[in-house]
Amino acid sequence: MNLPRDALLPIAIFILIAVCGCAAPTIPDDALRLTESTLETRAIQTRRFEVDSHLDILKATISALQDMEYNIDTLDKSLGIITASKVSDADSASDKTSRIMLDLFCAIGGSSCGAYALRDDKFAISMTLVVLPSLEAEGAYVTRITLQRALISKAGTITNLQRIDDADTYDRIFARLSKSLFLEENTE
């Protein structure tokens, strides 16, 4: 059986695609290995506490977060997860003044800048805390906190979103949590 020459090209392309599509992709050996910076960040975000139950850490965390003016958004006792958020004012007097002046100069020039309306209005800080049993020590729990900061404009749009990696911030939060755990243990 002879195929016309016009039919050979599509068949050859089909065979070539089928053969190439079946080739197994190669996964680099270090694809699942965490980088040094990731490990350093996790070390900053993680502490181990020796308590009777993960519920003790959750209760102490709620007390500490409320003292720091966070709102508790989600609490899942069985999974050991808390999410909390805090909104604060991002306006400064000098920023307001400079944007009003810019809008005024634009209006004098016959146009509209809208700089005052587009200024940053709020910082929204969100926190997630996860408590897991320690794999290294029995009767201990590993607690990891992650923080994010969103800058929100007057128009309600997020103008900047970033992860907070400052070690001092995490040290202060864990110090408050430690104090709260101490108080919880000694007032019962």
Residue 67's nearest CA partner among 180, 147, 153, 178 is 180
Token output for 77: 């006792």
- pLDDT for 73 equals 94
- pLDDT for 158 equals 80
- pLDDT for 60 equals 92
Q: Does domain 44-90+121-186 have CATH number 3.30.310.80?
A: yes
Rounded to two decimals, the pTM is 0.66
For 120, the enclosing helix (H) or strand (E) is strand 120-133
Percent of the chain exceeding pLDDT 70 equals: 68
- pLDDT for 114 equals 59
Residue-wise pLDDT for 125-171, tens only, equals 899 999 999 888 888 999 999 999 888 877 777 888 888 888 999 99
**CA max distance for the chain:** 93
Lowest mean pLDDT among 58-67, 117-126, 148-157, 169-178: 117-126
SS3 assignment, position 23:
coil
> Which residue blocks in 22-158 are alpha helix, DSSP H?
36-45, 54-67, 93-108
